[in-house]
Structure formats: C-alpha cells, structure tokens
Chain A
C-alpha cells in the first residue's frame, strides 16, 4: 500500500511522477495498446480553438490538452496550497485525485478525499468538478453525489484567468467560511442558520464518518488513487525520512549530472568576464 500521504507533489518531485508514467515512451517504444479497446468511441475533442479547424493538425490536439493539464498541475505545485494534495490519475490526465486536511474551524481534523474532473474541452469548457468521496455535511456539498458547488465561484471558466489550483483553494475555503446561499444541501444550510449547535454536531458526525472510512480502498481503481493505511513503520518510516532528508540535502539533486554550465559574469553586471576572481570556476 502507499504511504500515508504521498505529498511529493508538493516538494517539487511530484510532477516527475505524474507525467512520464502516463507517457512512458522510451526511445522508440510506445505504450502498449490494449487490444480490447474498441475503435474510436467518440469524436476526438479539439485542442485549442486556434488551430482546431485545421484538419491536418488535429492529431496534435491531445498533446495540447495533455500539456495544458500538466501546466495546470505544475501551477498547483507552485501554489503550495496548505493541507491540499492532488495527484493526476494514471488513467487520464482529466481526473485528479486529492485529499484535503482541515486543521481548524468547524471541520477541524477532517480528512476529505475527493476527485477533480476536468472537462475534455479544457480550457474552453465548464469549470472542473470536484466530488468528495463521501458527501461531507456542508451547505455547498451535494448530500447524494458529494459534489461541491464549484460553479458559484467560477460562473464562467475563463482560460488564462482561471486555474485548477483556484478550484482546490476554493474547496478549502468553504470549510473555513460557511456560505449558505443557494445551498446544495438545504438541511445543512438551514441548520447553520437556525441551530448552529446541531449543525456543529452534525459536522462532527460527518467528519467522524469520513475519517472512519479513511482506510477504505480508493473509490476509483487507479494505480495513482490516493489510499491511506495505518501507520506501519516498516513501510512509512523510511518514506518519511526520505521526505525530510530531501529538504536537508538539496545538493544531491545534482549529483551524477555531468553537464554543467559556465559563467564569469558578475551578478548585476551585463559584461562577459566581469567577475573579479578570474577564473572563478576553479
């Protein structure tokens, strides 16, 4: 089983995990193509509209989409959202698994797993959907499907302005700042307005419920789905050490790479060979 929480994507390495595994091409090898696959089951979605009309180049569309999503993912990494971890699924770049840790407030100690679904005409479609594995008791979370009402924050999804990290950020915010207008869960909304104590106890129950299912098998069968397991030193201790060790020894990153650049430019200067100590490299 996987470590308790794989937060590598927050440390700058996650991207490596995410992308090559889905495009595991080597030199001239292609990923195996399952024989069972039915021929084209749906018309291919178009890439960015700029070129989508040009039939010749339509075959690059998936590359554009793939890289747009990878770019989104690197943006998430860059944001370092507190308490939020995501990982694109193995099966599709359009589906991301995530987990959110609530550290204070009404939902304190809540650990909510969720899945983000990105429309396949991204970035020109609707805003992504965010669905909690277990419907959390919350005015903006659908009590049946577990879907968070994201759309109210992103009425119109605008490319270049809206990014997936904002959706994740929003998902975090709703647990700290409760909004009851146009609720997906009217009961929660009403309780919050009328009987906060009852609301609170319901929330506590909901948090307990969610946490009690923490070690369940992932809802979606995917190699990259986030799964939790009880602390097992044999498995987790080493992983934990590596996580902390990485921060302490950033130099290791470069070991074994022969390639090295050269510079004799003094910082702040725009002149070649302006460094005082000549030659500085030795």
Chain B
C-alpha cells in the first residue's frame, strides 16, 4: 500500500491535481472508496476469510485506490471558516482510515506493512492542507498504528516511526488543542500513556540521527510541559522518562573507556578533537546535552525529578565509585570525564546537581571535593588532570565552589592578625604590591638582559604632550611661562623604555577582573572581611541539602514505577573489575522505592561539620607543610597513592587487615597528602583509652563546639574497632614520626606546625584538649588517668586535628596544595606550571577583598603559620637565584627557552588562538578552555637549543612572566574594584 507515497513521487501528482475542480476530486475520491469498500467487504471477518487469503491483485487494487485517495485528501483545502473540506468530511464520516488500518491488520501486518503505513501517515500529517488530527476517525487508527509499532525492531521502521513522532510533536507544539485529543485517544486505547511520548522514550539514548530526532521531539514535549501542567504531571508521575534518561547516563557511562590513550604528556583534558574520536563518549555527551536541554525547558516537576535521578542514579552510584577506582589511570580518566561533563553542562540547575555532588557528597565519608583536591598533589597525569578540573571549577564564577575551596577559610579572618582586618578592604593606591611582586623578578630574567626580539622593550610615551617641547621640571623655581601658560610640568618621563609585554598583561588583567566582577554580582555576599561577619561564621553542617528537594521529587513517583524501565532502555553493563561493591549502580537505581528509604542516610547531618572536617584536610595541611620542608618525593608519593587506592578499595575488609596495612602507610606519612589516610587516623584516635580526659568531664560540655567534638568522637568511635595492643605500636611509631618532624621544622626555621601553636595560649590548648575528649569522660571512671604515652598522643592528635582549624590559621587545602606545587615550580613540567599559574591568576582576578588581599596584598600581615603567595614566590625566586649563581650556562638556556615559548605563542596566534600575552599562559580572562586549547593544540616543534626536560629553565621564564601577570592584576584591582559598578 502507498508505494507511490513511499517512493515520494507525489510532486507529479500534485501538479496534476492543481486546478482541478474540488467537486471532481470528491467524485473521484468517492468512486475509489466504493471500489475499495467492495474488496474490503468481500473479505469481511464475518466471511471467515482470515489473512493470508487475500489475493494479491485485490491487495494491489486497494493500494492503488488508496494512494489516489490520499493525494486527494492531502491536496484538499479546508472549507469556509475552517470547516472540513468535503473529502475530509467523507473520510471522517465513513471512518475510512480506521477501516483501512483494520484491512492492513487483516493482511499480514509485517514490518514492511508498518513502514508503509507510517510513511502514509507521515505524509498525510505533514502535508495536508487542513488540520486532520482533530478528528478521531483519523487520530484513532494513527494511534493504533503507533502502538502496534512500539515493539518493532526493524531499523527502517524505527526511523520512520521516530520521524512521524517528531512530526506529531511539531504539530502538538503548535496546536495545544490536539494535546487533549492525544490523551483521550490513549484512554480509548485503554492506556493512560501519552503514547507519542512513551514511544519516544526508548530512543532517548539512541545514537545517530534517529536518536537526535527522538530527542528533538521529546524536547518539544518538554517545552510543552512547562506550560501545560497536565503534560508535566503525566510525564513526572506516569512515565519512565526521568529514570530512563538518568540511568541511561549510567549505562552509557559504563561503556566509556576506562583508560584513555594519552596523546602526549602535555595532555590534561578532553577536547573536542579528543572526544569526537570516541563514539561512546560522543553518545554520552549527546545524552548529557539532552539532559541539559530538558532541564532548561521542562516543567519544574520534571526537571527536579530528572535532577534527582541524575544525582541518585548516576552521580552517586556510578561516578563516585569511578572516581575512586583502583589505578591512577582509571581515576585520571574519570577525572577527565568529570571535567568534560562540567564543561558540557550549561544549564544552572544541572550544573548545580553536579556541583553539589562534588562539593557535598561523601564517598566513604570523604567529600569528593577533598579527594579531588588531594589529587592535585599526585604526580604524573592525575595531578595535571586534576589541576585542569579545578581550572574549570574556578572558572565557573560559582560562589558555592569558591566558598568551599577558599573563602570559608578566609571568612573568619584567622589567617591575618586581628589588627589587619581593616587592611583587607584597603586599596593599594600606589601599586606597592605590584612593585613588590615585580621586584621578585630574578636578575637572570631581567628585561635588560634579554636580546631583541625577546626584549620586548619599547619606548612608550606617557606624556603625549612632549611634542611641544618645553623645559621640564617639577620644581617651583622653573616657573617659566610655556605655551600652556602655566609652566607646570606634567610629564611622566617623556620617553621611557618599558617592558611592552606588561601592557598586554594589564589589558588582560582588566578584562579578567571585569568579567569576574560582573559575574560575581549574583553572589550573596561581598567577602570583604565584614560581610559575612568573621565572628558569625558558622562552620555549619555540610549535608547534602541539595538532596532534599530531590527526595520529594522522588516520592512523587508512584511505587509502581519504581521498577526497571522497559527493556529497550540501555542497561549499563556492569563496570569491569575493581570495586564491585561500589559499582552496584543498578541496584540502587532500579529499586527506587528502596532508594527513597535509604537516602535519608545520606541526608542526615554530616558527622563532621565542615570546618572540623578533618582528617584529610588536616592531612593536606600537613602535606603542605611537609612540602615546604622539602620532603616532597614524588616516587614515594606515588607509591602511597597506590596504597591509598588499595585501602579505599579494601575498605570493607576487616579492621585487622587495615591495621596491617597501616605501618607501611605510616612510614611514608610525612609526604603523603591523601585523604585516604583518614581511616588510619580514625583508628589512631580511637586507640586513645577513654580515660584520657576523665579529669575534666564537666568542662564546656554545653558549648556547641564541644558537642561537635562529641559527635565527631562518637563517629570515630564507631568507625574503628581494632585491637588495643596493636595500636600501641602504631601510636609509638606515629609519635616518633611527628617528633622528628617537629624538630626538623625547628631546624629549618620553616613556619610549620610547630609554630602554629604559638598563637594559642597554653590555657586554650588545655581547654581544647579537654573538649576533644569529653565524650570519653562520660563513660569512664576518673581512675583511669592519662598515662604518659597517651599524653603525647594528645599532642599528636592536636597537631593534626581538624578541630584546630578555628584556632590554628589555615587557608584551606586547596590553597595549600596550589602553593606547594607552585613552590616546586622548578621541577614541574612546563604544562603543569602553565595550569598552575593560570589557576592562581584566575583566583587573583576574583574581586572579593578577602581573596584579593590574601593573594595580592603584600602589606597584609599574616599569622605565622599562614603561607602567602608572596612568600612562596619569594622562595622560588631564591631557588632561581641560587641556581643562576651556580650555573653559568643559564642565561643562554633562558634565552633559548624564551625564544621557544615566543615561537609557540606565535603559532597559537596563527592558529587563531588569540592571546594577548607575551607568553600567554593564563586562562584567566578568556574562557577556561582557551588556555587548554593552546596547550593542547600544538606542541610546536621541540625546541632545539634546549630540552624540555630542563624544567627549571622554562619555569624560570614562566615565573618571570607570572610575576608580571600578578602585578598587572594587582594594579588593575587598585582601580577596577573601586569603581561602583552601578549607581
């Protein structure tokens, strides 16, 4: 049937029909129909002739007649005032379409048959001159056809089905009145489904054009839902749309490569060129993009439900474990994926879902964020990829992200001396900070020493008035009457050789700060040391509050729906090997009623309030200190990391096992940044006999802080349960370790933990120690008093305890890690340094006075334990100077490196990557991806005169440029941050 329709040669026909008298058409139509009816009646079911018995010639005849009839119907214009045309009226009256459909059912209803019918309707719906779908006799057979196609497998039929569905959706979007009919017709079919919609769902994640078309069609319905409560309600409550969409992500994710082929050592994030070559990744991103679009246009009910499924069905059960896989490569790959996902999502609500996962979710009681931060310090690719992820994060201008990363550590203003608080808001009117930063320029990199063309010096005329030469003087005596009649000098040195590249840095800084300032106008507070007030800073309870609304959204789904969706939904294959336990995504998703029950676990107040959060932060901090002390050894760290991942993976093994692992861990503890040490410390703190603080049980029990402490300890108590004998051993080792560290710190006169205690008065220390252990006192008799070893354990715990955050100034793990890596600039590879300085430059461009003063104000007096960016820069400068003094060949190498970097930049510019900087290495002002593109695109030919392995040489050049970049940012801040944005 409709073979001509299928062949698409109706144009000829329409030409023939044009201008034909409508009445003639009607007569032809009726005649044809009469012929058809004859054949139809001949094979009436009452005649007991079932399918298969219809002779071919009769079938052909019907087909030919029908073709002609359809053309006539399509070409018919609607009657007066929108009334039906006579043919249409006839079709409706005679129920032509339904009878034809039944006829085709009676014959063998093959896929080919379906295909033809679909094409017929597709043409009819798409090209009819008058609205057809309003009429049940047309709509009903269409719906029957559609539902008969729901279980088909033939690709051509699917393609045609989706095409037709898409067309129907287009019509729906234009004419809401049809919507009701679709629902009603579905009801007639005994189905509560919104059939068009349900049929599309299986194609959500389909690749290729069919999937794309299905998603487009669904989006049309989604935007329909925003205005139509009924559609929204139906989709949210009666369909599998959201679960299918979200779990589809999980399924697609599971088919992504677990390891990526790293093109080069410079590689640090997935670019378009990268992911385009991975079909599974393209498919995933298509679906993610679709989620993004749905979030954008759908009704809030649907949106919230979808987001909750993405959170609970993809992020938590799939991505979180994937971020904690066993090998560095796998973890690195997941990190790169996460970064890519964040860059692909644009809709704030969806972004919020991802961000709250990163910021608030705990995996194995450690915040994802903290784990990610700790990985910045891992050597090799993982550290680099993690840096790239954070560059993306801080490039979002998201208050919540910045709050968690940096600001919350600065709000209490503990990092500065009390008297300095007002300085936070002060402006640097005279570019003092810029001058001090630039003064760190190593002498071997002085612009004076660079030969052209590296020496980007040029004369810049500050005073453009100098073309009217007059005697210049700033003194009163030379009060000559020159042509301006005043004799006043007004020249800033008439012609001066300047480092021209600095102008570009200034320009870039201006752009960067301006766009950042604009973006931050939506923030809730100024972060200027007063708003929010330092003393009112509540560490608060970091719960996954984002889940609340999701819970409710989930509950709206009737339990009957909490079943696995239709089989057509791509079911994620179980992820390979490692961490089977964590990867049970389908369990957690499939039984979503169960999930509703279990989620409260996640939803309950976090055991560790964030400011006290703890072990890993404190680890980070210690690591930072270690790094400062120069004990950073990459190999060791790497080993530790593997061990850490092992630990994480074996989390469910017994505590005894854990204890066996611990000694090894402990030995390398000093240069170990990983959060996974947490278990160890849990164990450690637990070993403390309950007696420890028995003497002071009543002290401060009712202060909120104490309560937190109690909570904390209680958790710790639950968390670990190991044998006491072994712990003694462990404690001794640990204690020993810390002692050596302390003494080293003293020797090296580095501001480390040792000094950290200084600001704290002894009495305070006692109090806090008391509080730390009050919980034990309640349960234990006074008699068991502190014994010597535990006394020192006290100290141990203190030095690292997270509860010190309030008393011992700490600017947060993120800043610590960045500064640690910066301090090692000379041994970092070029691209790590590019990322690192880019991140710091972006941070410095934020206008919040707390952040700005912390990073850029060289006048600010910090607490002794706080390391400032300036301090670290000074350290690096000293390293460079020492090196320059030792190595005579350095100047030539530096020149060679400069040449190469310059050539590199020229290349980028030719490739269309705009860069304003002499050595563009900041992603600061441009979008976060530009820098990435630059890094990626083109390792230019390897430098000839110098090996890229000479990291110290490249670092020296970058360092010098970084100083200029920071100074330029500081200078622009002194102007921009004080101009009222709006009056």
Given the known interface contacts A63-B502, A72-B429, the answer about A261 and B491 at a Cβ–Cβ threshold of 8 Å is: no
- The residue that A260 contacts in the complex, of B507, B519, B967, with Cβ under 8 A, is B519
Chain A residues with Cβ below 8 Å from B303 are: 282
Q: Kindly list chain A residues whose C-beta atoms are within 8 Å of the C-beta of B485.
A: 219-220
- B469 and A56 form a contact (CB under 8 A): no
CB within 8 A of A93: which of B348, B397, B492, B525?
A: B492
A94 on interface, CB distance cutoff 8 Å: yes
Known: A30-B460, A34-B461, A41-B466. A270 touches B403 (CB 8 A): yes
Instruction: Give the distance in Å from the alpha carbon of A70 to the alpha carbon of B462 in the complex.
Output: 13
Which of B431-439, B751-759, B875-883 lies on the face that meets chain A?
B431-439
With a CB–CB cut-off of 8 A, which chain B residues contact A119?
474, 489
Chain A residues near B978 (CB, 8 Å)? 71, 74-75, 78
Total A-B contacts with CB atoms under 8 angstroms apart: 313
Complex interface: stretch among A11-19, A188-196, A208-216, A234-242: A11-19
Quick one: which of A28, A261, A264, A271 contacts B397, CB cutoff 8 A? Answer: A261
- Whether, in the assembled complex, B515 has its beta carbon less than 8 Å from a beta carbon of chain A, the answer is yes
Measured CB to CB, the closest approach of chain B to A33, in angstroms, equals 6
- On chain A, the residues within 8 Å of B979 by CB distance are 12, 15, 74, 77-78
Please give me the residue from chain B that is nearest to A59 by CB atom: B498
Q: Which residue of A lies closest to B351 (CB)?
A: A262
The answer for the CA separation of A37 and B485 in the assembled complex, in Å, is 21
A43–B360 Cα distance when bound, in Å, is 59
What mask results when residues 488 to 506 of chain B are scored 1 for a CB within 8 Å of chain A, else 0? 1111111111111011101
Chain A interface: which of B154-162, B314-322, B535-543, B763-771? B535-543
Compute how far the CA of A268 lies from the CA of B533 in the bound complex, rounded to whole angstroms. 9
Known interface pairs A51-B439, A260-B522. Does A25 touch B507 (Cβ–Cβ under 8 Å)?
yes
Point out the residues of chain A lying under 8 angstroms from B352, CB to CB.
262, 264, 273, 278-279, 281
B761 contacts the other chain (CB 8 A): no
The answer to whether A66 touches B349 (Cβ under 8 A) is no
Binds B, one of A105-113, A167-175, A179-187, A251-259: A251-259
B467 within 8 A of A: yes
Query: Out of A19, A56, A92, A270, which one reaches B492, CB within 8 Å?
Result: A92
B38 at the binding interface (Cβ < 8 Å):
no
Q: Contacts A60-B438, A68-B431, A282-B348 given; indicate if A270 touches B399 (C-beta within 8 A).
A: no
Asked whether any CB of chain B lies closer than 8 Å to the CB of A152, the reply is no
Alpha-carbon distance between A278 and B552 when the two chains are bound, in angstroms: 12
B57 proximal to A (CB < 8 A): no
Chain B's closest residue to A36 (CB) is: B467
In the assembled complex, A39 has its CB within 8 A of some CB on chain B: yes
| One of B67-75, B107-115, B442-450, B556-564 contacting the partner | B442-450
Bound-complex Cα distance A266 to B399 (A): 10
How distant is the Cα of A22 from the Cα of B506 in the complex, in angstroms? 13
Q: Does B396 contact A (CB under 8 A)?
A: yes
Asked whether A265 lies within 8 Å of B518 as measured between CB atoms, the reply is no
Which residues from A are CB-within-8-Å of B541?
Answer: 271
For B398, B458, B496, B978, the residue with the greatest tally of chain A CB atoms inside 10 Å of its CB is B496
A131 and B398 within 8 A (CB): no
Contact call B486/A64, Cβ cutoff below 8 A: no
Q: Chain A residue with minimal CB distance to B463?
A: A92
Q: A50-B435, A273-B360 are in contact. Are A92 and B465 (CB under 8 A)?
A: yes
The answer to whether B522 and A261 touch across the interface, beta carbons within 8 angstroms, is yes
Given contacts A265-B525, A272-B400, contact A37 B495 (CB under 8 A): yes
Whether the Cβ atoms of A264 and B400 lie closer than 8 Å is yes
Given A160-B429, A270-B537, the answer on whether A62 and B493 have CB atoms closer than 8 Å is: yes
Cβ of A90 within 8 Å of any chain B Cβ, yes or no, is yes
Q: Which residues of A contact B502 (CB under 8 A)?
A: 60, 63
Residue from B432, B491, B522, B542 in contact with A263 in the complex, judged by beta carbons closer than 8 Å: B522
**Across the interface, which residues of B come within 8 angstroms of A282, CB to CB?**
295-296, 300, 303, 347-349
Name the CB-closest residue of B to A115.
B486
The verdict on A148 contacting chain B, using a C-beta distance below 8 Å, is: no
User: Quick check: is A157 within 8 A (CB to CB) of the other chain?
Assistant: no
Q: Nearest residue in A to B403 (C-beta to C-beta)? A: A272
* B residues near A257, Cβ cutoff 8 Å: 515, 518
- Inside 8 A of A30's CB, which chain B residues have their CB? 458, 460, 500, 503
Indicate which residue in B396, B443, B457, B461 contacts A31 across the interface (CB closer than 8 Å).
B461
Q: Once the chains bind, are A270 and B494 in contact (CB under 8 Å)?
A: no
Distance in angstroms between the alpha carbons of A271 and B359 in the assembled complex = 11
Known interface pairs A11-B983, A41-B495, A45-B492; A67-B916 also in contact (CB < 8 Å): no
Q: Is B35 close to A, CB under 8 A?
A: no
Quick one: which of A44, A269, A273 contacts B493, CB cutoff 8 A?
Answer: A44
Interface check A250, CB cutoff 8 A: yes
Given that A62-B493, A259-B518, A278-B546 are contacting pairs, would A131 and B486 also be in contact in the complex, using a CB cutoff of 8 Å?
A: yes
Does B774 sit within 8 A of A, measured CB to CB? no
Contact B431 A12 (CB under 8 A): no
- Residue A104 at the chain B interface, CB threshold 8 Å: no
Contacts of B295 in A (CB 8 A): 282
Known: A57-B441, A278-B549. A41 touches B494 (CB 8 A): yes
Nearest CB in chain B: distance from A116 CB, A: 9
* CB nearest to A220 among chain B residues: B484
- Interface flag for A95 (CB, 8 Å): yes
Q: CB within 8 A of A71: which of B427, B446, B486, B523?
A: B427
CA distance A115 to B486 in the complex (A): 9
The answer, yes or no, to whether B472 is at the interface (CB within 8 Å) is: yes
Say if the beta carbon of A65 comes within 8 Å of chain B.
yes
CB pair A64–B430 under 8 Å, yes or no, is yes
Nearest chain A CB to B738 CB, angstrom units: 32
Asked whether any CB of chain B lies closer than 8 Å to the CB of A103, the reply is no
| A281 and B499 contact, Cβ closer than 8 Å, known pairs A75-B978, A263-B398 | no
Query: Does any Cβ of B come within 8 Å of A87's Cβ?
Result: no
Interface contact A273-B546, CB-CB below 8 Å:
yes
A143 located at the interface, meaning its Cβ lies under 8 Å from any Cβ of chain B in the complex: no
Q: Determine whether the beta carbon of B399 is less than 8 Å from that of A261.
A: yes
Closest A-chain residue to B527, C-beta based?
A270
Shortest A243–chain B CB gap in Å is 12
Q: B545 an interface residue at 8 Å Cβ cutoff? A: yes
What residues of chain B lie closer than 8 Å to A155, measured between beta carbons? Answer: none
CB distance from A7 to the nearest CB of B (A): 12
Q: Does A38 contact B (CB under 8 A)?
A: yes
The reply to whether B356 and A273 form a contact with Cβ atoms under 8 Å apart is yes
Q: Are B496 and A59 in contact (CB under 8 A)?
A: yes
What residues on B are CB-neighbors of A217 within 8 Å? Answer: none
Please, which residues of chain A bring their CB within 8 A of the CB of B519? 259-261
Binary interface encoding of chain A residues 118-139 relative to chain B, with 1 for a CB under 8 A from any of its CBs, else 0: 1111010100010100000000
Inter-chain contacts of B967 with A (CB < 8 A): 60
Alpha-carbon separation in the docked complex, A87 to B791 (Å): 69
Q: A67 contacts B507, CB within 8 Å?
A: no
Is there an interface contact between B545 and A38, defined as CB atoms closer than 8 Å? no
- Contacting B538 at CB < 8 Å: which of A51, A92, A270? A270
> Quick check: A273 and B524 within 8 Å, CB to CB?
no
Asked if residues A28 and B486 are in contact (CB atoms below 8 Å), the reply is no
| Set B398, B404, B431, B982: member contacting A48, Cβ < 8 A | B431
Q: Which 7 A-B pairs have the closest CB atoms?
A: A91-B465, A281-B348, A261-B519, A272-B400, A261-B397, A95-B490, A263-B399
User: B residues touching A (Cβ–Cβ < 8 Å)?
Assistant: 295-296, 300, 303-304, 307, 347-349, 351-352, 355-356, 359-360, 396-401, 403-404, 408, 411, 427, 429-432, 434-436, 438-439, 441, 443, 446-448, 457-467, 469, 472, 474, 484-486, 488-500, 502-504, 506-507, 515, 518-525, 532, 537-538, 540-542, 545-546, 548-549, 914, 916, 967, 971, 974-975, 978-983
Q: Can you sample 22 A-B contacts with CB below 8 Å?
A: A25-B507, A47-B435, A51-B435, A56-B448, A57-B435, A57-B438, A59-B498, A60-B499, A61-B493, A62-B496, A71-B975, A94-B492, A117-B489, A120-B492, A121-B474, A250-B983, A257-B518, A260-B518, A261-B518, A261-B522, A263-B524, A279-B352
Q: Given A33-B459, A93-B462, 16 more contacts at CB 8 Å? A: A37-B494, A50-B435, A61-B493, A63-B431, A63-B971, A64-B971, A67-B431, A92-B463, A120-B489, A120-B491, A253-B981, A259-B397, A261-B519, A262-B351, A263-B398, A278-B352
